[in-house]
Amino acid sequence: MKRLLALLFATSAFAADTIRTEHDVDYLGGGRKEKADLYLPANPQPGQRFPAVVIIHGGGWSGGEKRAAREINIGTTLALNGYVGMSIDYVLANSEHPGPTWPQNLHDCKTAVRWLRANAERLHIDPAHIGVIGGSAGGHLAAMVGLCGGELDPPGEGDTRVQCAVDLYGPVLWFEQRDLAMFRKAHVEAPELYKQADPRSHIDKNDPPLLILHGTADKTVAVADSEALAVAMKAAGAAYKLEIIPDAPHTFHLQPKQRDLRPLVLGFFDKHLKPKAR
């Protein structure tokens, strides 16, 4: 924890003159309390446009928040490297929401994509190049945003599709093996609902590229979950990369002590979100 805090302090101090932030942005409207934080490159030039990435926190779909250490690390890293990062809160399956929160949690994530496109001019965003990244439950939602395309969209107008997605150790086999609070129903009561939320149910060969990362020391979500997603992607002929991080536990960000993942993740985003110079 001390190492993580020191790293975040150093990164924040370095970033002070090179990025700017906007906190608690109302991206959902309608009186919703869930907000977003923006991480933006400072002082964009006239006409300059940046790709954008939605950042989705973890917490078992029932906890977590947009300004946790992992999300700050990812948002700061993105802004320092020429991206607009948007870290979001979304509806959680907790005591404040006694009813089901699926698929509203996914709708909130997709609404964030729409919001970025609707605000592209003000934020200097290239609306044709938007990605998504998330960890744990957020990894699952990030994969769903990428793989669903125009399926399971929230009401309203606007494109929810992204050009690539990064899934950090998101649950997959859980949708076969566990009863999950966000459904407010057991698997045996609603197997089709669980199947609807399983990323493997939405894969086809035309899906945007997916980068999957998982640590071998993860005691919360088994490596087998990411391996199962990779097997399904391969079977469908979809574009993906599975990267296993030896000895990395659950909930790592882009700079775990086991390996600096910034070159891998930024390289993936650069490839798919930054147009080639002509």
pLDDT band at 16 (very low <50, low <70, confident <90, very high): low
| CA separation for the pair 78, 117 (Å, rounded) | 18
Q: How much is the pLDDT for 15?
A: 57
Q: How much is the pLDDT for 275?
A: 82
Average pLDDT of the chain to the nearest whole number: 94
Calculate the alpha carbon distances from 257 to 63, 139, 247, 249 in Å. Answer: 25, 20, 10, 10
Q: How much is the pLDDT for 14?
A: 44
| CA separation for the pair 28, 155 (Å, rounded) | 12
- Dig out the tokens for 113 from the structure: 């994509």
pLDDT at 251 over 50: yes
Calculate the alpha carbon distances from 87 to 27, 135, 151, 157 in Å. Answer: 11, 12, 22, 22
| CA separation for the pair 138, 134 (Å, rounded) | 4
- Dig out the tokens for 25 from the structure: 């942005």
Q: Is the dihedral of CA 216, 219, 221, 227 positive or negative?
A: positive
pLDDT band at 12 (very low <50, low <70, confident <90, very high): very low
- 66-79 as b/e, with b when 16 or more CB fall inside 10 Å? bebebbbbbbbbbb
Q: How much is the pLDDT for 1?
A: 44
pLDDT, tens digit, 9 for 90 and up, residues 39-80: 999 989 999 999 999 999 999 999 999 999 999 999 999 999
Domains, the chain: 2-270 (3.40.50.1820)
Q: How much is the pLDDT for 271?
A: 98
Average pLDDT over residues 133-146: 98
pLDDT at 172 over 70: yes
pLDDT at 252 over 80: yes
Give me the residue label for tokens 């009401």: 155
Average pLDDT over residues 239-264: 97
> Is the Cβ–Cβ distance between 196 and 248 less than 8 Å?
no
pLDDT at 2 over 80: no
pLDDT, tens digit, 9 for 90 and up, residues 146-159: 999 889 999 999 99
**What is the pTM assigned to this prediction?**
0.94
pLDDT, tens digit, 9 for 90 and up, residues 173-224: 999 999 999 999 999 999 999 999 999 999 999 999 999 999 999 999 999 9
Calculate the alpha carbon distances from 23 to 16, 40, 105 in Å. Answer: 15, 11, 20
- Dig out the tokens for 269 from the structure: 């985003």
| CA separation for the pair 252, 119 (Å, rounded) | 31
Percent of the chain with pLDDT over 90: 90
